[in-house]
Amino acid sequence: MERYAGALEEVADGARQQERHYQLLSALQSLVKELPSSFQQRLSYTTLSDLALALLDGTVFEIVQGLLEIQHLTEKSLYNQRLRLQNEHRVLRQALRQKHQEAQQACRPHNLPVLQAAQQQELQVWGAQAGWPAQVSCGHHLALLTGLS
């Protein structure tokens, strides 16, 4: 009797799986109808049926879920890396600002233009290393460093 009950369950499972296959196949066929005819011709009934069977398996959904988790972890890692780099950049910018201010305060007035030119040159080199866009003027960044903006 148990064998008979087990056989009935297998038949019922098979029928449910077949019904789900037809539902997926029907949905895929509806989607294909929305495509241009050149693409419709390339998607045969067999291809759509195989795709529906692959979707039935559940493996595809597991793979997609795994890829989604990997994507989220990667995005989180990149976001944290970006925050860390921004903080390091801010600290370096503050240190350079302090260094320039101290040098200007200690500088004699007649040497100030030479010092400012040297500081601007240093800022250009530092800005290039920091990845500042070339089209933005160094004067803008000098103002940022000295706190004028």
Quote the crossing angle between the two packed helices 138-146 and 59-106, to the nearest 10°: 80
Read off the pTM.
Answer: 0.52
Span 82-118, pLDDT tens digits: 999 999 989 988 998 898 888 888 888 888 888 888 8
pLDDT value at 9 more than 70: no
pLDDT at 74: 97
3-state secondary structure of 1: coil
Q: For residue 1, what pLDDT band results from cuts at 50, 70 and 90? A: low
Q: For residue 136, what pLDDT band results from cuts at 50, 70 and 90? A: very low
Span 45-72, pLDDT tens digits: 999 999 898 888 888 889 999 999 999 9
Across the chain, mean pLDDT equals 83
Per-position b or e across 115-138, b if 16+ CB within 10 A of its CB: eeeebeeebeebbeeeebeeeeeb
Is residue 97 packed enough to be buried (19+ CB in 10 Å), middle (13-18) or exposed (0-12)?
middle
Q: For residue 137, what pLDDT band results from cuts at 50, 70 and 90? A: very low
pLDDT at 96: 85
**DSSP classification of residue 137:** -
pLDDT at 29: 94
